[in-house]
């Protein structure tokens, strides 16, 4: 099995290999989540799977980089993304705004990337405690995949850098509303200096909110003869531009939903729609350029076009007039391959709705 490099092989691999493997894993986690003793933790665990399964479906495309070991990569990707989505739900829906609580919860994401880490009491700062071992099972699943990688040490620093930034974003993003923008701005301004790239603080914050770089690195570790030099190139290719494009698209389609819910949305910090679209296209151009020097560059470029397709085909886009018009501009920028993937995603979403399935 080789890494897909064209539309036909990618869509075939997604339908025949990736999605069945993802759905098999998610079914197992959904069953475990349904047995969580605490009602609120159970509700949030199930909701995160039911409403965010497409995060696993999209992220798992990177499992194809592992070639014959793609199922092992997908095992990690689904477990790690499920941790991310579950914790995001807990923080978003929390009555707490205690950064200690958010930091304790997100220790799980760092422990999942540390094969020999001892698990903590992740819920120690909140009332809800008993998840029946659900979060611990997700963490240990990730750890077991990493324990089988003799070359894990090559990527450990890169992975922890990305995950630490992700966790800090989540902690600062979920403190009380009066403080979050100031904290995010201060943190982002201090961190982005090392990038030597011109971007606004909210754009840098968006770059830290993606797990794609982690998935790409883990899947690459499952390839034969991976080198430290190549892993460094992968990290630099995905952070900041690919990850930034990913999360800005996520916020782009959520603008109305976040406005109603009074939730923070990085796209609302742009002075106007024209500037926002110009910056999104800049992120797209730089993302495409950044992966061009990687092995399997056709695969990476297809996945970037796939980001446009996945997000712009979401039903939320069609419910917002301004977003719908801007989405057409972005989609045209992705060319015929993005349009093909967009139509594929639209058809897939329609079939899922007709079948009444979450995933």
* CA separation for the pair 116, 259 (Å, rounded): 42
DSSP string spanning 243-292? Answer: HHHHHHHHHHHTHHHHHHHT---GGGGSSSHHHHHHHHHHHHHHHHHHTT
Q: How many CA atoms lie within 13 A of 27 on its CB side?
A: 8
Given this model, what pLDDT does residue 350 score? 86
Q: What is the pLDDT of residues 294-329, one digit of tens each?
A: 999 999 999 999 999 999 999 999 999 989 999 999
Note the helical H segments in the chain.
7-13, 19-33, 39-59, 70-92, 99-111, 134-147, 156-173, 177-192, 201-207, 212-221, 228-237, 243-253, 255-261, 273-290, 297-312, 315-318, 321-333, 335-355
User: 340: which residues sit within 8 A by CB, 6+ positions away?
Assistant: 7
* CA separation for the pair 326, 221 (Å, rounded): 38
Q: Which stretches in the chain have pLDDT values below 50?
A: none
Instruction: Identify the residue whose tokens are 């790690």.
Output: 80
Contact between 269 and 202 under an 8 Å Cβ cutoff? The reply is yes
* CA separation for the pair 224, 66 (Å, rounded): 9
* CA separation for the pair 37, 15 (Å, rounded): 35
Contact between 69 and 222 under an 8 Å Cβ cutoff? The reply is yes
* CA separation for the pair 126, 148 (Å, rounded): 34
Alpha-carbon distances, residue 211 vs 3, 85, 178, 193, 262 (angstroms): 20, 11, 27, 21, 25
Nearest 5°: the CA angle 4, 155, 18 is 30
Given this model, what pLDDT does residue 194 score? 81
Given this model, what pLDDT does residue 95 score? 67
Using a 10 angstrom Cβ sphere, with 0-12 exposed, 13-18 middle and 19 or more buried, the burial of residue 114 is middle
* CA separation for the pair 166, 210 (Å, rounded): 7
- Nearest Cα to Cα of residue 287 among 321, 319, 330, 324: 330
**In this structure, what token pair is assigned to residue 234?**
């992968």
DSSP, collapsed to helix, strand or coil, labels residue 52 as: helix
**Domains of the chain in sequence order:** 7-355 (1.10.600)
Given this model, what pLDDT does residue 224 score? 81
Q: Give the single-character DSSP code of 158.
A: H
């Amino acid at each position: 099995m080789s890494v897909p490099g064209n539309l036909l092989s990618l869509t075939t691999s997604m339908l025949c290999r990736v999605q069945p493997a993802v759905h098999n894993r998610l079914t197992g986690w959904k069953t475990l989540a349904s047995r969580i003793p605490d009602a609120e933790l159970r509700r949030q665990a199930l909701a995160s799977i039911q409403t965010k399964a497409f995060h696993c479906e999209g992220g798992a495309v990177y499992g194809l980089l592992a070639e014959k070991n793609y199922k092992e990569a997908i095992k990690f990707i689904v477990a790690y993304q499920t941790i991310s989505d579950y914790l995001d739900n807990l923080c978003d829906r929390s009555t707490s705004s205690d950064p200690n609580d958010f930091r304790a919860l997100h220790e799980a994401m760092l422990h999942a990337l540390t094969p020999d880490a001892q698990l903590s009491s992740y819920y120690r700062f909140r009332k809800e405690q008993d998840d029946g071992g659900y979060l611990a099972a997700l963490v240990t699943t990730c750890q077991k995949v990493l324990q089988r990688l003799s070359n894990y040490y090559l990527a450990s620093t890169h992975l922890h850098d990305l995950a630490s930034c992700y966790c800090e974003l989540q902690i600062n993003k979920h403190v009380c509303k009066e403080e979050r923008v100031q904290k995010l701005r201060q943190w982002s301004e201090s961190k982005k200096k090392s990038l030597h790239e011109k971007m606004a603080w909210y754009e840098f914050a968006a770059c830290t909110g993606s797990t794609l770089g982690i998935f790409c690195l883990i899947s690459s570790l499952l390839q034969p003869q991976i080198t430290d030099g190549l892993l460094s190139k992968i990290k630099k290719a995905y952070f900041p531009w690919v990850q930034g494009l990913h999360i800005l698209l996520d916020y782009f389609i959520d603008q109305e939903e976040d406005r109603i819910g009074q939730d923070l949305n990085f796209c609302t910090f742009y002075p106007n729609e024209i500037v926002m679209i110009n910056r999104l296209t800049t992120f797209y151009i730089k993302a495409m350029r950044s992966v061009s020097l990687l092995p399997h560059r056709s695969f990476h470029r297809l996945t970037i076009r796939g980001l446009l397709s996945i997000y712009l085909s979401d039903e939320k886009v069609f419910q917002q007039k301004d977003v719908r018009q801007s989405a057409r501009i972005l989609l045209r920028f992705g060319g015929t391959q993005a349009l093909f993937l967009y139509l594929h995603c639209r058809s897939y979403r329609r079939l899922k709705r007709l079948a009444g399935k979450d995933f």
